[in-house]
Structure formats: C-alpha cells, structure tokens
C-alpha cells in the first residue's frame, strides 16, 4: 500500500515480462501439441477483418514505438471487410509475423499489407505481406526459418522457438501457405 521505490518497480517490471514470456511459451507448446495430435480445431465464425487487423496493430504499436519504428497497415480496397473463419488464429499469425519483424528491425518501418488474391466459389483468398527495413535473412537460413525449435539470428530469451512453425501450420490448416 506504500509507494514503491524505483528499484522495486524495475523488479516488478522484470517479473511481469518474465511471466508474460512464460505464458507465451506455454501457449506455444499447447498449440504445437494440439497441431501435432491433429486436435486443433479452427472456428468458422463471421468476423470483421478490419477490426482484426486494427486490434493486432494496436497490440503491437507499443513495441514499435519503443524502438521508434513506424508500424503501418495497408488494407487494399478489394479486400472484403466481413469474412468467415477463425479470426483469433489469424490474429495469432499476424502477431507472430509482425512481432518478429519488429524484433529484428532497428530503424525504419514494419508494414502489413492485406490484398485480395482471388475469389472462388464464394471463398476469398487473401495475401498478407509483412515487410520491414530490418537486417534481412540470409538465403541459407531461410529453409530453417519455419522449423520447430530453430531460431536464426541467435537465441531469444523468452522464446519457445515454435512461433513461426505454429504460424506455418495454422496457415496450412486455413488452406493457405507461408
């Protein structure tokens, strides 16, 4: 009930970040085990794509702001606003891709583009493209990028090494590809 000293606030901040990192790793492991067991079920619900994109950008904006990065989203005019699918899993994919782009970009911008690809039998195929002004990825490392428990660019504390693998699997479960 008393005011905390600066050192105590720093310790609390470290505890909060550690707890969030641990929760993220646990969720990654649970998702991975569900995917591997064939037990991950995707929802088929109506959702507003613009709201999903906007809430994802809003969630990650503080990370970009801390690094003085521009975080830009561009949703092209041919993209339908209302879709049917699993918006939580789409948000998970976008969060993983954008947070990795922010993590490895020191200056400049991270951009999310959402474009219409095609429409077949009432189904819309969209392209989500994340680009950044970061360091890039060497050609020989690109093959390992989406493999489980593999990280490029050094190990990351608080990372399960599963985020991009899960992202790829989720995209495939949705009928897409990365």
Question: What's the pLDDT tens digit per position in 27-86?
Answer: 666 776 777 777 788 889 999 999 999 999 999 999 999 999 999 999 999 999 999 999
Determine the Cα–Cα distance for residues 61 and 14; give it in Å rounded to an integer: 20
Distance set, CA 55 to CA 25, 48, 94, 135 (Å): 22, 11, 11, 27
* 114 pLDDT more than 80: yes
For residue 128, the tally of other CB atoms under 10 A from its CB is 19
CB 134 within 8 A of CB 69: no
Greater confidence, 23 or 99? 99
Residue 83, strand partner residues: 47
Model confidence, pTM = 0.79
Q: Mean per-residue pLDDT for 147-158? A: 55
* 134 pLDDT more than 60: yes
- Position 105 confidence tier, pLDDT thresholds 50, 70, 90: very high
Greater confidence, 138 or 60? 60
Greater confidence, 39 or 174? 174
User: Which pLDDT score is estimated for 148?
Assistant: 67
Most confidently modeled range among 24-28, 55-59, 161-165: 55-59
Determine the Cα–Cα distance for residues 88 and 47; give it in Å rounded to an integer: 10
Residue 47 has which token pair? Answer: 């959702």
Count H helices and E strands in the chain, helices first.
Answer: 5, 5
- Position 20 confidence tier, pLDDT thresholds 50, 70, 90: low
- Position 157 confidence tier, pLDDT thresholds 50, 70, 90: very low
């Amino acid at each position: 009930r008393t005011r905390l000293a600066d050192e105590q606030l720093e310790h609390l901040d470290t505890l909060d970040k550690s707890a969030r990192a641990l929760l993220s790793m646990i969720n990654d492991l649970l998702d991975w085990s569900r995917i591997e067991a064939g037990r991950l079920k995707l929802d088929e619900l109506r959702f507003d794509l613009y709201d999903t994109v906007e809430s994802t950008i809003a969630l990650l904006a503080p990370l970009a702001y801390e690094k003085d990065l521009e975080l830009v989203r561009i949703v092209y005019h041919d993209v339908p606003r209302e879709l049917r699918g699993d918006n939580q899993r789409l948000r998970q994919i976008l969060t993983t891709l954008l947070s990795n782009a922010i993590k490895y970009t020191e200056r400049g911008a991270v951009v999310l583009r959402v474009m219409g690809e095609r429409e077949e039998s009432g189904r819309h195929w969209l392209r989500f493209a994340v680009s950044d002004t970061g360091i890039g990825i060497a050609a020989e490392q690109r093959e390992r990028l989406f493999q489980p428990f593999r990280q490029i660019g050094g190990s990351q504390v608080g990372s399960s090494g599963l985020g991009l693998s899960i992202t790829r699997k989720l995209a495939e479960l949705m009928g897409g590809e990365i």
